[in-house]
């Protein structure tokens, strides 16, 4: 378990992380989302004791990182690709880590096997591709068989097979009861991997909720309806107190999950339907919706008119 309490980091005037409090729980994959510059990496660095908080506290299974004996056996992390000595072989790189952390040397071969690098174990890492580098970083994170794993952008540089592999790996680590905390810019990937989400923006907590709840709360769900008797259907829906809006090409949109109701009303009035499809918003749409809401909040909370901040957010997100 990772617990953050009022965690804050300032760099001069810049507040990179602003009073963050949340708990990352075991047994599930928790996604960590936010646009570029939101403070994700800074937060992860503070969890690992690499940056000192300006205020607040972060604990790993109840202890500060510095209090952990052989920390790699408590928490394994992938922060940056290629953060190792390129002149060493993959095997020696992991062996050095194992020896300095009280980890049996037999684990080195095990993790090389797990990440699929056995064939290149004796090759110097400076010749590794980005994907191989990511796999080696993941091997290092797994080396101490820790209960907590933290990955910053783990699918960077991986090909589709590699992305599928890491998704399966993260889910199985969580399935073993471990705490898995992972940041990613790939929303579609996060939607397939994470059960729980922590979303931050400009250093502040925007959401700490289940994936399903996040999408439901931050997006519009509606039913798409097409009928050759559109005008008659509109009247029937209106009489039943159901609001439908026309969205072009003869499509009607009915807010909420009312597909059954619309279908039953149409049948009762002998109306033909060519389409009746509930629309489920994607994580990306939900994220954009949350962004828009936080922009509105800023606009109302300021005394003077503000320039549109949505652009800043959107741009930051796309740059990822």
Cα 299 from chain centre = 27
Cα–Cα distance, 294 to 170 (Å, whole number): 31
Q: At its nearest, how many Å lie between ligand ATP and the CB of residue 79?
A: 10
Q: At its nearest, how many Å lie between ligand ATP and the CB of residue 14?
A: 5
Q: What are phi and psi of 34, to 5 degrees?
A: 170, 150
Cα–Cα distance, 39 to 127 (Å, whole number): 32
Three-class secondary structure of residue 83 per DSSP? coil
Query: For ligand ATP, which is the closer residue by CB, 40 or 107?
Result: 40
Q: At its nearest, how many Å lie between ligand ATP and the CB of residue 42?
A: 3
Q: At its nearest, how many Å lie between ligand ATP and the CB of residue 163?
A: 18
Query: For ligand ATP, which is the closer residue by CB, 46 or 180?
Result: 46
Q: At its nearest, how many Å lie between ligand ATP and the CB of residue 73?
A: 26
> Residues in the site for ligand ATP, rule: CB under 6 A?
11, 14, 16, 34, 36-42, 320
Strands 196-201 and 29-33: parallel
Q: Which candidate, 33, 53, 31, places its Cα nearest to that of 42?
A: 53
Query: For ligand ATP, which is the closer residue by CB, 11 or 297?
Result: 11
* Structure-token pair, residue 269: 């009035």
Q: Are 244 and 225 in contact (CB under 8 A)?
A: yes
Cα–Cα distance, 169 to 213 (Å, whole number): 24
Task: Kindly give, in sequence order, each residue whose CB lies less than 8 Å from that of residue 141, ignoring residues fewer than 6 positions away.
Answer: 76, 77, 78, 149, 150, 151
Q: At its nearest, how many Å lie between ligand ATP and the CB of residue 18?
A: 10
Handedness of CA 244, 247, 252, 254 (dihedral sign): negative
Query: For ligand ATP, which is the closer residue by CB, 257 or 316?
Result: 316
């Amino acid at each position: 378990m990772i617990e953050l309490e009022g965690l804050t980091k300032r760099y001069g005037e810049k507040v990179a992380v602003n009073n963050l409090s949340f708990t990352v729980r075991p047994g599930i994959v928790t996604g960590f989302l936010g646009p570029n510059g939101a403070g994700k990496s800074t937060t992860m660095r503070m969890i690992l004791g690499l940056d000192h908080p300006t205020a607040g506290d972060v604990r790993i299974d109840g202890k500060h990182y510095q209090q952990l004996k052989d920390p790699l056996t408590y928490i394994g992390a992938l922060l940056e690709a290629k953060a190792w000595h390129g002149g060493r072989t993959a095997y020696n790189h992991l062996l050095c880590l194992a020896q300095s952390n009280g980890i049996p040397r037999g684990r080195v071969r095990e993790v090389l096997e797990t990440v699929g690098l056995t064939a290149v174990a004796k090759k110097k890492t400076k010749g590794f591709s980005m994907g191989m580098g990511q796999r080696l970083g993941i091997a290092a994170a797994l080396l101490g068989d820790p209960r907590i794993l933290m990955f910053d952008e783990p699918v960077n540089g991986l090909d589709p097979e590699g992305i599928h592999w890491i998704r399966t790996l993260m889910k199985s680590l969580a399935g073993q009861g471990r705490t898995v905390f992972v940041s990613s810019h790939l929303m579609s990937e996060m939607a397939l991997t994470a059960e729980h989400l922590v979303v931050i923006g400009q250093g502040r907590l925007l959401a700490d909720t289940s994936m399903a709840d996040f999408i439901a709360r931050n997006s519009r769900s509606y039913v798409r309806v097409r009928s050759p008797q559109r005008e008659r259907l509109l009247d029937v829906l209106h009489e039943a107190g159901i609001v439908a809006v026309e969205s072009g090409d003869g499509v009607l949109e009915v807010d909420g999950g009312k597909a059954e109701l619309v279908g039953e009303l149409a049948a009762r009035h002998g109306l033909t339907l060519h389409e009746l499809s509930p629309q489920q918003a994607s994580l990306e749409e939900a994220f954009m919706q949350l962004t828009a809401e936080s922009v509105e909040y800023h606009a109302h909370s300021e005394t003077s008119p503000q320039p549109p901040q949505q652009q800043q957010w959107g741009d930051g997100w796309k740059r990822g």
